[in-house]
Structure 1
Amino acid sequence: MTAIGIDLGTTNSAVAVHDKQTGGARVLRNGEGQVLTPSVVGVHTTGATGVQTFAVGTPAVNWAFREARDTIFSVKRLMGRDFLDDAVVETNRHMSYDIVPGPGQDPRAHVMLAGQMYSPVQVSTMILEKLAEDAAAHLPEPPTHAVITVPAYFNEAQRVATREAGEKAGLVVKRIIDEPTAAAVAFGVDLREGDKRRVLVFDLGGGTFDISILNATRDAAGRNHLQVLDFSGDNWLGGDDFDLLIVKRIIDWVKETADLDPSHDAKFLYKAKYEAEKAKRQLSQTQVVDIIIPAAYRADGVIVDIDLQLTRAEYEVMIAGLVDTTIGLVRAALDRQKLVPDDISDVLLAGGSTLTPKVYESVEALFGRDKVRRNVDPMECVALGAGILAGTQHGIECGDPACATVNDEKVTECVACHRPLFDARAVGDTNLYEVTGQALGIAAVYGMNGDSFVSIIPRGTPYPVTQPLKRTFEATNGRKIVVPVYEGDDPVASRNQEIGRLDYDLPHEIAARAKVDVEFLYDRNRTLFISVIVPGTDLRHYATLRHDAPREGTEQVTVLTPGEDDEADQMRQLLLHVVEAAERFQLRYQPYVDPSQSVKIQKDLEGARRVLSFPDPDECRTMINALRSHLFESGLASQLYLAESTADRATQEDARKIYSLVAIIRGEFQEGRHKVAEDKARLLRGLITQMSQQTEVPEIRDAADFGGLLKILDS
């Protein structure tokens, strides 16, 4: 077995291998002689023959100026993301390649490469294959196992996607580890016996930002112990965002000097992004940089040569808001642990973006310069930590104390006693104690609300979870049980990240108020095992949640159960339902609602809440009609609402057309081109009209029951 550590980065990736003599690790050079491999995949099409050749890393970068639309970079930002995610929509407007919805009803973001659709997992697999192949040249035998790092704030779907990419690349994934934790492992090489340190890792990479707070100790046997106390961050904040601010500056320069808008030209966008990244690096060393791009843009017979100057002072003003966001997240993480900066003994800087003076000076201002450690290269420390773990973790130990057999990471049950290894712990020279960054739970019914989030595994829970964590509910339907699973901390389920759903058809009817136990187990790989049990019966349903399974992109709808059979009670419940639907509509589509219309919606919502206090059937009916009219008569917002509802039930091809057109309309509107957005919306209306003959558009309606959702027990 040969194991490597892989830092699969947004901008660059690196491979490291454990050095047994020093106890540390060393970064391996790739086929081009570099320690960093650009996380870029491209296709070069030979004009004469039409033969397509894939390239990864530097070769892909070298071809990108000619093949900009067929060059994929920053794909890590799309891992586990839905196509209509606001951040994806925003990114799609700036990328030189096309981001599209997945096949069928799969709402996840995919990319187009040489006319073919690829998932972020497939693109990441190509990068991992390149990394493993290049590493083999420096090792006695090709690598078979790997520890792969991910941002600490990656959600479960993103972690599963990363593991899948590693497995598709032919590697046994020993562990998926958080990037800040890997950086702390690299730092831990210098720990001495008896050391007790409280460490904060500030990890600002190309596409993500993470903070981890850890206790680091070293015992008499020479083993390091790293206990994660908390982590936080933003998996859509990084050096790429710094680059895009410079790109915007370049675009504005072209608009001002040539009266042309190059923002939709793929080749220009790639050139601008390339030069922006280079300028960013130079401004870490100098006070001023010249951005020169000959023949950057051609339009209407005009060739635009870019020649502009950017000072460090100007650049720091541009990025100040992003840097302030990182410091605010650090303070929030400290507050959650009831810590102050003086409680931190060491601050580790990880990620290439921490080389930006504005960034590291802000960290030093908060903690003090003497605490900020620079003894490990921030560009390499994550890979080095992964390499140490890859070489010093020797398998996983059976959770049965009477057995305790050490197994290879690729097996799912103990080779000796055949016990499932869901609660197995890694065996090695470094002991890691990690915690969940967000709560895991389900959507359930509370009162009249079917969109309440119930935490089963709370935020900050150490894992693996060796004993099931359980909550008891009531069944609302005797024929089926529906368990939507979410990750997040918001009390409203639909505001969290849905990571799966269990639909359980009961073999025979049970009582509507029967008790139902839901149990969660969480293993070392953050795989979630769910059990749904009806005590006193033989009804038991077990499932391993597939975070990577295609999900239907449907809106969450709060459903109601009529109480007494009097008209006032029924109308009150229906009004509650419509109020909640209108609130969700306003939250999701607020930017597209005319301000005067928004005032009317808010006024009617306030009126509806007053009516709910003393429900009169006629007044309830009046407010129901008023709120429903807003949903379908709010211009562009209503058109987007109806379009996305139609797409949920459309054919694969029709859904793709709708999603693509919706993304264009959103982008044009956000850019201030409202007239263009309205023109595109007319096309969208025609498309919906055509499809509505074949597809039922969902409307707000009263529901007879809770659709199988479980109900929270009355306290």
Structure 2
Amino acid sequence: MDDIVIGIDLGTTTSCISVYAKGRIRILENDRGARVTPSFIYFPPEGGTVIGEYAKTMSLQKPENGIYKMKRLIGRQFDDTYIQKTLEYFPFVITSGISNFPVIYVKQNNTTIQKTPQQLCTIILQELKKYAEAKLNQIVNKVVITVPAYFNVTQREVTLAAAKDAGFTVLKLLNEPTAAALAYYFDNDITENHISLVYDLGGGTFDVAILQKKADNVEVLCVDGDCQLGGHDLDNCILNYIVEVLRKDYRYNAKIDPGAKRRLRNKCEEAKKDLSSANKALITINGMVPKHPRIIITLTRSVFEEKASKLFKKTIDILHNCLVESKISKQSIQEVILCGGSTRIPKIQKMISDYFGGKQLNNSIHPDECVAEGAALQAAMLSTSKKQDIELLEMVDVVPLSLGFGRLGREMLVIIRRNTKIPAKGSQIFINRDESHTSFSTGIYEGERTDVRKNRYLGKLSIDGLLPAPPEQLRVTFTLNIDSNGILTAKAEERLSNMVKEVKVNYTRGDKSEFEIKNSLLAAVENQETDKKFTKFVRIKQYLIQYLIRFLYNFDKQKLHYKSIKIFCEKTRYDLYDMEVEQEERVKNLYEEVKVKCYAIAKKHKFVYLPKEL
């Protein structure tokens, strides 16, 4: 039997399965005949698990046993600012587990069970696997799974691990906006060099991608987004409004009742959907508030738009930043493709259209299914099954921000530049400055500034236990590598000692929001002159430090006795490390002083390994 490869959109709110076979894309329905499945798990008190729409319904009885939005929790630390801010919105118990990762606690069979976000995603994927096998009438082991463009390395690895535990081999993690664009290009006859923008606002995440269709590939020119912005946050805007109305008008605090919050959230989700086609929605609350058996709250579209205005604007700001970063004008965008259920909101569509000067938006792809369809197309391209023969179309993703190491003087040494095609790899050789240099350590950074302290610190790469060697004789190769799934690995290698150190780095996101990181791009443009000044300053500083280290190396090797010169060199060397660009004149004076005091001695005694003069 053919080894069919399917595509899965493992969504924050809903999940969808698709397959490309015999020349067409097919959505695989779940056991209830629905084309999408809520990413919702309910743990009945008596045992077992229930998945999907029925799980949402059953959770009304015991809200603390209904788990949802687990995609927002995977790969994040418990003390992450986002998780801490959103704890109040979850009826279930979340605490810190191993290595500070979140753990969900549920009472079942008179005991308390623990589930990690990874285990919960595995449960969802296992259920989706059953649906696919039932519809295709065969075993399905291979899959392409979509993820938000800005999922970090930990989130990607957790997704891969969850899929493996569910019995899948993941052939590729495909970025969601790329998948949506692939679905669009498949359904439409697009000319070469066509540039489109995908605006993907789903239940839990937001992505923007600018893509260019070429002869035999689709190249991602730029990506941006926010992994903590989506329909769930819009629901929270409505929920906060309703809770405040109940508190103010009925003196009822819905926050203290998990069951009430669960029922209200369902009402808020329904109201949001209603407002996409109507100017007002009625939220009916039965049997919740004492002395008020039935309450009807009218929510107008204008009130909703006012409450959610900051979130709406944030998506436009991110869209704008994506265009600025890519240096592509609004006029160059030939198609704006909408993806994700939240793009049905009229205000969002109007804001996007207005941003592009009244441009007609493209609604030709199904907002809830297009990501899964794109995953199915990518799956067919990776499949060896004859049923899945398809014209190959290469998908080329890019690195969103430059990646590099910190070097002497706190300078950013860029190894992989932003918008480099993925997979990507870059290396740099570091050499020892003196014979006591038996270890190397450097920070790994993301950003566009020349001063590493103004970029985002990602982690540390160290290698030690190296054999002592004269200056410039010990060479360590530091490498950054991003694979096709967007996972960054940093490696240090010294061949003579056969020493290798490798770490996987959490590089795409962290405590900073996506908007903050994109502001770093604007900061780089606005501070070009400042950065040029810093580069000029750090070059002198680097030269002086290296010169003094090697001068002292020669000095000690030859056992010279210029005591005052040695004291001067040692003090100057250590003082230089902490000098900032504001002390540029002081550094220049030290440079002249070193020339006067040291150059003649170095020439007289034939010092070696000295750096070339500036």
Same fold (TM over 0.5): yes
- 1:37-68 superposed Cα distances (whole Å, 9 cap, x missing partner): 1111221103xxxxx22222123212211221
Residues 453 and 610 from structure 1, CA distance in 2 versus in 1: closer, same or farther, beyond 3 angstroms? Answer: closer
1:378 to 359, 362, 367: 367
Partner of 1:555: none
1:274 to 266, 276, 283: 266
Write the distance in 2 (CA, Å) between the matches of 1:152 and 1:257: 43
Q: Which amino acid aligns with 1:4?
A: I
Residues 98 and 487 from structure 1, CA distance in 2 versus in 1: closer, same or farther, beyond 3 angstroms? Answer: farther
Partner of 1:673: none
Q: Is the 8 Å Cα contact of residues 456 and 471 (structure 1) preserved in structure 2?
A: no
Q: Is the 8 Å Cα contact of residues 345 and 371 (structure 1) preserved in structure 2?
A: no
Partner of 1:528: 488
Instruction: After TM superposition, list the pairs within 5 Å mapping 1:527-546 onto structure 2.
Output: 527-534=487-494, 537-543=496-502, 545=504
- 1:103-137 superposed Cα distances (whole Å, 9 cap, x missing partner): 1xx12333223333322211111111111111111
Give the CA deviation at 1:473: 6.0
Q: Which amino acid aligns with 1:16?
A: S
Matched, 1:285 2:277: yes
Instruction: After TM superposition, list the pairs within 5 Å mapping 1:311-710 onto structure 2.
Output: 311-367=300-356, 371-394=360-383, 429-442=392-405, 444=406, 446-447=408-409, 454-465=413-424, 468-470=426-428, 472=430, 478-487=437-446, 492=452, 496=456, 498=458, 501-506=460-465, 508-509=467-468, 515-534=475-494, 537-543=496-502, 545=504
Partner of 2:71: 76
Quote the RMSD (CA, aligned, Å): 3.7
SS in 2 for 1:18: strand
Paired residues, what number? 524
Instruction: After TM superposition, list the pairs within 5 Å mapping 1:81-160 onto structure 2.
Output: 81-103=76-98, 106-114=99-107, 115-160=112-157
Write the distance in 2 (CA, Å) between the matches of 1:611 and 1:515: 32
Residues 376 and 508 from structure 1, CA distance in 2 versus in 1: closer, same or farther, beyond 3 angstroms? Answer: same
Matched, 1:261 2:253: yes
- 1:580-639 superposed Cα distances (whole Å, 9 cap, x missing partner): 9xxxxxxxxxxxxxxxxxxxxxxxxxxxx999999xxxxxxxxxxxxxxxxxxxxxxxxx
Give the CA deviation at 1:440: 3.1
1:8 to 1, 10, 13: 10
Write the distance in 1 (CA, Å) between the matches of 2:440 and 2:175: 35
The range that moved more, 477-486 or 162-171, is 477-486
Instruction: After TM superposition, list the pairs within 5 Å mapping 1:225-236 onto structure 2.
Output: 225-236=217-228
Partner of 2:37: 37
Write the distance in 2 (CA, Å) between the matches of 1:161 and 1:714: 50
Q: Which amino acid aligns with 1:528?
A: L
Partner of 1:67: 62
Matched, 1:201 2:194: no
Give the CA deviation at 1:510: 5.2
Q: Is the 8 Å Cα contact of residues 220 and 396 (structure 2) preserved in structure 1?
A: yes
The range that moved more, 60-69 or 200-209, is 60-69
Matched, 1:53 2:53: no
Write the distance in 2 (CA, Å) between the matches of 1:88 and 1:101: 11
SS in 2 for 1:526: coil
Residues 370 and 306 from structure 1, CA distance in 2 versus in 1: closer, same or farther, beyond 3 angstroms? Answer: same
Give the CA deviation at 1:144: 1.2
Give the CA deviation at 1:456: 2.1
Q: Is the 8 Å Cα contact of residues 527 and 544 (structure 1) preserved in structure 2?
A: no
SS in 1 for 2:89: coil
Which consecutive unaligned segments of at least 5 residues does structure 2 have?
511-544, 550-565, 587-611
SS in 2 for 1:44: coil
- 1:394-418 superposed Cα distances (whole Å, 9 cap, x missing partner): 36xxxxxxxxxx9xxxxxxxxxxxx
Q: Which amino acid aligns with 2:17?
A: V
Write the distance in 2 (CA, Å) between the matches of 1:192 and 1:511: 63
Q: Is the 8 Å Cα contact of residues 4 and 142 (structure 2) preserved in structure 1?
A: yes
Which consecutive unaligned segments of at least 5 residues does structure 1 have?
47-51, 396-405, 407-426, 552-560, 581-608, 615-712
The range that moved more, 385-394 or 282-291, is 385-394
- 1:414-461 superposed Cα distances (whole Å, 9 cap, x missing partner): xxxxxxxxxxxxx9612111111233334x3543x6xx6544222211
Give the CA deviation at 1:534: 3.9
Q: Is the 8 Å Cα contact of residues 285 and 296 (structure 2) preserved in structure 1?
A: yes
Partner of 1:604: none
Partner of 2:601: none
Q: Which amino acid aligns with 1:287?
A: N
Matched, 1:168 2:176: no
Q: Is the 8 Å Cα contact of residues 393 and 430 (structure 1) preserved in structure 2?
A: no
Q: Is the 8 Å Cα contact of residues 349 and 374 (structure 1) preserved in structure 2?
A: yes
SS in 1 for 2:299: strand
Give the CA deviation at 1:282: 0.7
Write the distance in 2 (CA, Å) between the matches of 1:63 and 1:310: 27
Residues 494 and 333 from structure 1, CA distance in 2 versus in 1: closer, same or farther, beyond 3 angstroms? Answer: closer
Partner of 1:598: none
Q: Is the 8 Å Cα contact of residues 275 and 291 (structure 1) preserved in structure 2?
A: yes
Q: Is the 8 Å Cα contact of residues 415 and 426 (structure 2) preserved in structure 1?
A: no
SS in 2 for 1:286: coil
Matched, 1:213 2:210: yes
Write the distance in 2 (CA, Å) between the matches of 1:214 and 1:69: 42
Residues 56 and 454 from structure 1, CA distance in 2 versus in 1: closer, same or farther, beyond 3 angstroms? Answer: farther
Write the distance in 2 (CA, Å) between the matches of 1:436 and 1:158: 17
The structure with more radius of gyration: 2
Write the distance in 1 (CA, Å) between the matches of 2:364 and 2:613: 56
Residues 612 and 215 from structure 1, CA distance in 2 versus in 1: closer, same or farther, beyond 3 angstroms? Answer: closer
Partner of 1:636: none
SS in 1 for 2:44: strand
Q: Is the 8 Å Cα contact of residues 287 and 312 (structure 1) preserved in structure 2?
A: yes
Q: Which amino acid aligns with 1:238?
A: G
Q: Is the 8 Å Cα contact of residues 7 and 15 (structure 1) preserved in structure 2?
A: yes
* Percent identity between the two aligned chains: 28
Write the distance in 2 (CA, Å) between the matches of 1:177 and 1:245: 30
Write the distance in 1 (CA, Å) between the matches of 2:22 and 2:45: 45
SS in 2 for 1:520: strand
Q: Is the 8 Å Cα contact of residues 287 and 294 (structure 2) preserved in structure 1?
A: yes
SS in 1 for 2:158: helix
Give the CA deviation at 1:196: 3.2
Q: Which amino acid aligns with 1:29?
A: E
Write the distance in 2 (CA, Å) between the matches of 1:510 and 1:307: 80
SS in 2 for 1:154: coil
Write the distance in 2 (CA, Å) between the matches of 1:494 and 1:528: 21
Matched, 1:179 2:176: yes
Q: Is the 8 Å Cα contact of residues 198 and 209 (structure 2) preserved in structure 1?
A: yes
